Amino acid sequence: MRIIGHGVDIVEVARIRAMLEEHGDRFLNRCFTAGERGYATTRRRAAEHLAGRFAAKEAVLKAIGTGWRGGIAWTDIEVHLLPSGQPEVELHRAAAAAARQLGIREWKLSISHTEQYAMASVIGSGG
């Protein structure tokens, strides 16, 4: 398989924490799927986990080169964990269509976070 796209993003955890405090469920429901909300909000450092997923979504958009154009919604990009604990990207609706059009069939995702920052790197491959 060849690499078709790569994206990296970094997010300040304080920014996500502020969005949670200011907008609460409205922010959570707009930006995260039910599965992502269920996972992250049960964690002791929920804002860090949400920031990691937020960064992953931005990184995917960079890898497919669309930004938030073409009707892509935050919830079109979902991060969940495999039984091994490895994060995995799953695309839905417009994001899935954009990746398919590029020939991306597989994603590799890495997320890392501290109290201050969360970062994600994704590689989309296919062909």
Phi and psi at residue 123, to the nearest 5°: -125, 125
Residues with a catalytic annotation lie at 62, 113
Q: Supply 81's token pair.
A: 């964990």
Between strands 117-126 and 2-12, the pairing is antiparallel
Buried b (16+ CB within 10 A) or exposed e, 103-112: ebeebebebe
